[in-house]
Homo-oligomer: A and B are copies of this chain.
C-alpha cells in the first residue's frame, strides 16, 4: 500500500512541549502559567511551552523551554500525555507532550522572559480559559499527578523541606478532595521513612508541631531491597 502523500511530505509537523508546573503552598496546588505576548492567542494565559529544536532530546528541551519562558531552573520534569488533535494549533500540525513537575511554590521564583509577558501561579481548581487546548492538558495532567501522589513519595517535592505532619495531611486532603482522620493518617505514614528533626514550629498560637524531613536515602535503600512499596 502506497502512502496517500509523498514520504517527504510527512516531515511537515512540529513538536512542542508544555511544562505543567505544580506548586504547593498553604494547602493549595497552583499551576505556573504565562501570559502570551505572541500570536496566536496573544494576551491569553497558557502553559509555558514551545517548539522542540530538531536536534534536541525531549527532556532537555522541556527544561530549556521552561527556563526560557520563566527563568525557572533545576526542576525535575516528568513526561506526561501527548495531545495531537489536527486542529489544536492554528498555524500547523503541532503535536505536544505535557511534561510536568512538582515544586514548593516559594522555592521557585518565576520571572517572565522571552515571549512570556507575565507569569503567575493560579490555583488548580480555579483556572481561567487558556490558550489552545491547555485547559484539557492541565486537567488531565492534574489527574496524573493525583495518581502519582498515591503511589510515589512525590508529596515531598511539594512540601517544604521541613514540614509538619498536618501539612502533609492537608496536601493529601486537598489533592484527593477528602477529609482524613488525623490519628489514622499518622498510623498509615508510620512506614514512610521520615526523620523527626525534633524542631518545633514557632509563632503559632497553639501547641507547636514537630518538624519532619523525608529520608530519601533510606527510602532509596528500602526500594532497592524491594522491601517497601509506597502507597497512600
- Chain A contacts to B: CB under 8 angstroms: 1, 3-5, 9-15, 51-58, 68, 79, 81-82, 84-86, 92-93, 95, 97, 113-115
**A14-B10, A15-B95 are known contacts. Are A86 and B1 too (CB-CB below 8 A)?**
no
Sample 8 A-B pairs with CB under 8 A, ordered by A number: A5-B53, A10-B52, A10-B54, A13-B13, A13-B52, A15-B15, A58-B95, A84-B97
Q: Is the CB of A53 within 8 A of B84?
A: no
Q: Is the CB of B55 within 8 A of A92?
A: no
Chain B residue with Cβ nearest A97: B82
Q: Which of B11, B81, B92 contacts A92 (CB 8 A)?
A: B11
> What is the predominant secondary structure among interface residues of chain A facing chain B?
loop
Give the Cβ gap from A208 to chain B, nearest Cβ, in Å.
38
Residues of B within 8 A of A13 (CB): 11, 13-15, 52, 54
Give the Cβ gap from A49 to chain B, nearest Cβ, in Å.
13
Residues of B within 8 A of A53 (CB): 4-5, 10
Chain B residue with Cβ nearest A114: B1
Q: Is the CB of B68 within 8 A of A84?
A: no
Q: Which of B1, B14, B85, B86 contacts A11 (CB 8 A)?
A: B14
Residues of B within 8 A of A95 (CB): 15, 58, 95
Residues of B within 8 A of A81 (CB): 79
Distance between Cα atoms of A164 and B160 in the complex (Å): 51
Distance between Cα atoms of A14 and B3 in the complex (Å): 14
Residues of B within 8 A of A5 (CB): 53-54
Give the Cβ gap from A166 to chain B, nearest Cβ, in Å.
27
Q: Is the CB of A54 within 8 A of B93?
A: yes
Give the Cβ gap from A59 to chain B, nearest Cβ, in Å.
9
